[in-house]
């Protein structure tokens, strides 16, 4: 599945991330995350370098769509996921653990 980020001349990024996973019951669920991100050049550069920055200093909104042909996961196709800018989560030693939405 394609995974990507397209960055336009005005530094707006179109986000389109797609992946799938298999449940313990053998059902396949496809996840499509789509959205946009934009902000001042220095903030976008800091994001690219993995640096800390204030969440309110840029705009990012995404939404997730889940699909499955397994009837047990029909509930997952409702558009209920909305994502906001992530916050860095660091380990006690200062290394990056990941991001939370």
The whole-number pLDDT of residue 28 equals 92
Q: Is the pLDDT of residue 79 over 70?
A: no
Q: Is the pLDDT of residue 76 over 80?
A: no
What is the bridge-based pairing of β-strands 87-90 and 96-100? antiparallel
Average pLDDT over residues 58-67: 84
Q: Is the pLDDT of residue 97 over 70?
A: no
Of 36-45, 52-61, 62-71, 89-98, minimum mean pLDDT range = 89-98
The dihedrals phi and psi of 15, each to the nearest 5 degrees, come to -105, 130
Does the pTM of the predicted model rise above 0.85?
A: no
What residue has token string 């029909």?
Answer: 74
Instruction: Note whether 29 and 73 are within 8 A (CB).
Output: yes
Q: Is the pLDDT of residue 58 over 50?
A: yes
Q: How far is it, in rounded angstroms, from Cα 9 to Cα 79?
A: 31
The whole-number pLDDT of residue 61 equals 84
23-48 residue pLDDT tens: 999 999 998 888 888 889 888 888 87
Q: How far is it, in rounded angstroms, from Cα 35 to Cα 32?
A: 10
């Amino acid at each position: 599945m394609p995974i990507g980020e397209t960055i336009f001349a005005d530094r707006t990024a179109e986000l389109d991330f797609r992946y799938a996973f298999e449940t313990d019951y053998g059902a396949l669920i496809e996840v499509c995350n789509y959205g946009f991100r934009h902000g001042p050049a220095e903030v976008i550069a800091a994001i690219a370098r993995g640096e800390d920055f204030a969440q309110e200093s840029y705009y990012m909104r995404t939404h997730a769509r889940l699909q499955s042909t397994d009837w047990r996961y029909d509930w997952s196709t409702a558009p209920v996921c909305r994502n906001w800018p992530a916050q860095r989560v660091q380990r006690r030693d200062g290394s990056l653990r990941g991001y939370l939405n």
